[in-house]
Chains A and B, each alone.
Chain A
Amino acid sequence: MAKLSFVRRPRGVTRYVCLGLLAALAFLALFGRTIWGAQAARSDPIRPLEPASSAHILGTDQIGRDVLARVLNASLLSVELAVMAAAIGVVIGVTIGVGQAVLGPFLRRLLASAIMISLAFPGLLLALLVNAIFGAGPTGAVLGVGIALIPAFARFSQALASSAAGSEYVAAARVLGVGRVRIMVRHILPNIAKPLLLTALGSVGTSLVGISALSFLGLGVQPPSYDWGELLQVGLQVVYVRPMSAIGPGVMIVLAGLAFNLAGEAFAGSHPRLSVGEFTGTARLTRRFTLATSRLANRRPDRAADAEELVASASPALLSVRDLHVAFPGRSGPVVAVRDVDLAVMPGERLGVVGESGSGKTTLALALACLLERPATWRWREFTFDGESVKADSQSAYRRLFGTRLGFVFQDPANSLNPAIRVGPQLAELRQVHYGASRAESRRMAVDRLREVQIPNPEIRARQYPHEFSGGMRQRAMIASGLMGSPRLLIADEPTTALDVTVQAHILRLLERVSDGTGAAVLLISHDISVVVSFCHRVLVMYAGRVVEDIPSDWLVSRAAHPYTRALIQAVPDIDDLAGQSLATIPGQPPNLENLSTGCAFAARCAFADDKCRQDDPRLTVLAGPHSAACWHPRTSDELADEPADAATSNRSAP
């Protein structure tokens, strides 16, 4: 499944806001004392606790001093103490974190676990502990908060240093015989300086809030000195009558803390812009070395006939969709992942879909199962499943139609079963939800189905968690889950890609058996042509979100008409090729789905493309019976031998 991530909004605004806050704070700290110092000290005992007025915006305190002037005047001391505490934490923490690299392994482990243990303790408790030793007062507060910051900085710088130490330039320096201390000072520190400084900046905010807390408790700055914490304490005493005298210093603490914290985050470098990588992926095909082209020839003789018969038969399609389109929002407009797809799956048919990664296979599979989610957008002209028309966006209809009749086997067995639920209940819930069966009954059935997909000891296995299963067994369990209803269609999205070769074969055989046994059709998505050819009756080849060829699997190797299909086939390695020959690749890049040019999407990579191809997009046209292709210049079998030398691949001759 192509995972889309979206570009975050630029953090410009945050940056300006916090730059502004920091500048204001710096101004207050530098000039506050000069401007408001005198006013803050001037008491007016006959006017205590004045309410807010134009003369005293925040009112006056118990002995008639202007609260606002005192708040602004306290900026210097508050910031000063915070910077001192942060400096203690950063210097000692970084020294420990970076310096531990020069220790022996035993001491290093001891130190690391000491850091871990102290990290589990809230900073405030550590600060109180230190404060208890040094006594209430600014020294105790600064030391307490500073020391409380040490573990976090030790851990952070240790993590940074060890990741820098693992980099290649450090390895190179080590090979050159540079000493440990020198490596640390010359190579590692400069490289971790930026994140460290930013975190240090953020920690000034943390210490400001912490020291204010201690002052507020009466453990930090002692009267007659005052910082914001002390002012808050004084304000709280009169909070009933003059709430502003508590709110003023409180707001300053929040703003200042926020300014430093935001600065640490906002300047931490812009996040890497995420691209829609899945869609513009590599041009090379992922290859399976083990299933060679030679196997393609070992097809069963009856397949083409089967396919023809299935398509020609008057029986209505199990699933049919017309004009399916799917798009995802991209950086510059929608990325069209699937377009113009008309498709029909006959009852009992085994239909394969092949294509490079990014060709839209998985999106197509999800769309057919109505499993797409916003922000993807999709539309179709007509969609029927099992004789009923499917309305877009009707979850209840989806539930009724697909709940018991459609099974989905996902690609990654490591991740497709819920790790927190035992396998049995995970299968059983389908029965419980859709058939209202009892828990015991559904679990018995789950065990039966597990047995059916040849999982040994199904009773025990049903009580196990997915992580206790092997990859192949998890795929079996997924298939078994599809069997909990009465499946008419199984959609398998690369069900064997993550498995090793022998297990692949077992899973395919199991799918085949299930399909034969239940009459369910199978839609097999794969990038592996040999898998599809050996398993399916019919194959759809996808390119840039479109079906470019629809061909019985028996004909695929000998009669493929689309140049892209041919290139795909030639890119399948032969077992004989393993002896040193380089593999055929399709030259060029898959098209950028964000802005498809007019004309055939494959034209840019196609050796046969002409002006017509570059102007008009060919529609899927019937070539012969069950075989159609979307190409202005379909190849015929006899041309296979004399393709131009620079054609779609290749350093080896066509089959």
Chain B
Amino acid sequence: MSAVTGNASAGFTTRRRNLWPAFVARRLLRLVIGIVVVVTASFLIMQLVPGDPVRLSLGPSAPFSLVEQRRADLGLDDPLIVQYLHYWKGVFGGDLGSSILTQQSVTSIIASRIGNTVTLVAIALGLTLFFSVAIGVTVGGLTHNGRRPRLLGAYRIVASTLNVVPEYLYGVALVVIFAVTLKLLPVAGDDGFKSLILPSLAISLAPIAGLSRIVRVQTEEVLSQEYIQFARSKRLPALRIYLRHALPNLLTSALTVGGILLGVLVASTVVVENVFALPGLGSTVVTAITQRDYPLAQGALLILGGSVVLVNLIIDVIVSLLDPRSLMRDS
């Protein structure tokens, strides 16, 4: 073979830039920005309340001296910047103030309730990722290239309908079906793992439908790529083509697009905990808002918002582990 080839090939450098440090730095920056936004937003709740939050909370009949005392406790008479810095200090120190109504520490209330919510989100996240990928890939594989148009049509109708049904209606429907009619599972209350099954289903059904649609489109897209043809030309077993060659490529784009859907899971817990009377962060937020217990609402919303930031970060990391190219695109 000619020397020309050798020279030309040697012209390409074999450098391998490690893109991870830059990636980690960017994600950390995004995490910090996200946290700052969440903390600031939750701080602003109390400041933006029209009128005196303590008076609103304690009601018109509360004695003036009590209101004054609570105002002082909350530091509401300090200048804004002092309050803001104080709030940050509290966030770092794990002190989110105390409930206006019960005087209990917000941190301890949240700590006692957060377990259910975290488990719920974790189960729902797992269910959503697993089923949306399984359904999306299966339907995509069965229908790509214009095959089985009727299956695709039926799937489209079912998935887009299921996708717009809100989680609280799933909650009600599941209660009616499994608890009232079939009497299989507890309707409400905190009864260990069993009582988490229906709530986690309720919040993951819509995201499963939505994300599986995205996965299906990505599957179709990936299966028409030349590298899949190449894999087929090597006569690899079908399972290997799907799992090893198609899956990583379609997951990255599906998760990038669908990441927001998974953040929605966190918010959905708020509603669903109320459907199933499950003591968690969500039911805490709702009670706090109805009772105008601002410090408690602030604290619970802070934690919920922070976990959205965290879930997004987790998704980003999964994506970049699956597809090294995303590191390059990212930069």
Interface residues of chain A, those whose CB is within 8 Å of chain B, are 1, 3-6, 9, 117-125, 128-129, 131-136, 205, 209, 212-213, 216-219, 232, 235-236, 239-240, 243, 246-247, 250, 253-254, 257-258, 261, 329, 366, 369, 371, 373-375, 395, 398-399, 402-403, 406-408, 410-412, 415-421, 429-430, 433-434, 454-457, 460-461, 464-465, 467-468, 470, 472-473, 478, 481, 502-503, 506, 509-510, 513
18 A-B interface contacts by CB (under 8 A): A1-B226, A4-B145, A124-B271, A129-B45, A136-B290, A213-B168, A219-B289, A243-B180, A253-B169, A261-B164, A416-B226, A419-B227, A420-B249, A429-B240, A430-B236, A456-B14, A464-B16, A470-B12
Chain B: interface secondary structure?
A: helix
- Contact of B226 (CB < 8 Å), options: A209, A247, A410, A421: A410
The answer to whether B237 touches A216 (Cβ under 8 A) is no
Tell me which residues across on chain B come within 8 A of A460, comparing CB atoms. Answer: 14, 16
Q: Which residues of B contact A395 (CB under 8 A)?
A: 238
Q: Which residue of A lies closest to B268 (CB)?
A: A124
Chain B residue numbers with a CB within 8 Å of A236 are 172, 175, 275
Contact at A239–B267, with CB atoms within 8 Å?
A: no
Q: Are B5 and A454 in contact (CB under 8 A)?
A: yes
Choose one: B237, B290, B308; the contact of A125 (CB below 8 Å).
B308
- Give chain B nearest CB distance to A46 CB in angstroms: 26
- B230 CB–A CB distance under 8 Å: yes
Whole-angstrom distance between the alpha carbons of A232 and B285 in the complex?
20
**In chain B, what residue has the closest Cβ to A410?**
B226
B124 CB → nearest A CB, Å: 13
Q: Which residue of B lies closest to A265 (CB)?
A: B160
Closest to B238 in A: A395
**Closest residue on chain B to residue A434 by CB atoms:** B235
A473 pairs with B12, CB closer than 8 A: yes
Q: B248 on the interface (CB 8 Å rule)?
A: yes
- B162-177 contact mask (Cβ, 8 Å, vs A): 1 or 0: 0011101100110110
Cβ contacts under 8 Å, B12 to chain A: 456, 470, 473
B-chain residues with CB within 8 Å of residue A406 when the two chains form the complex: 233
Binding site for A on B (CB under 8 A): 1-2, 4-6, 8-10, 12, 14, 16, 33-34, 37, 41-42, 45, 48-50, 56, 145-147, 149, 153, 161, 164-166, 168-169, 172-173, 175-176, 180-181, 187, 224-227, 229-238, 240, 244-245, 248-249, 252, 260, 263-264, 266-268, 270-271, 274-275, 285-286, 288-290, 292, 294, 297-298, 301, 304-305, 308-309, 312, 322-325, 328
User: Does A455 contact B9, Cβ atoms closer than 8 Å?
Assistant: yes
**Contact among A129, A412, A433 for B301, CB-based, below 8 A:** A129
Known: A236-B172, A395-B238. 9 other contacts (CB 8 A): A128-B289, A133-B45, A135-B292, A247-B172, A253-B169, A371-B229, A415-B227, A473-B9, A506-B5
**A420 & B5 in contact (Cβ 8 Å cutoff):** no
B263, A461: Cβ atoms closer than 8 Å: no
B264 touches A124 (CB 8 A): yes
Q: Are B308 and A120 in touch, CB under 8 angstroms?
A: yes
Answer whether A467 and B328 are a contact pair too, CB < 8 Å, given A124-B271, A411-B226.
Answer: yes
Asked if A454 meets B1 with Cβ closer than 8 Å, knowing A408-B230, A418-B249, A421-B244, the reply is: yes
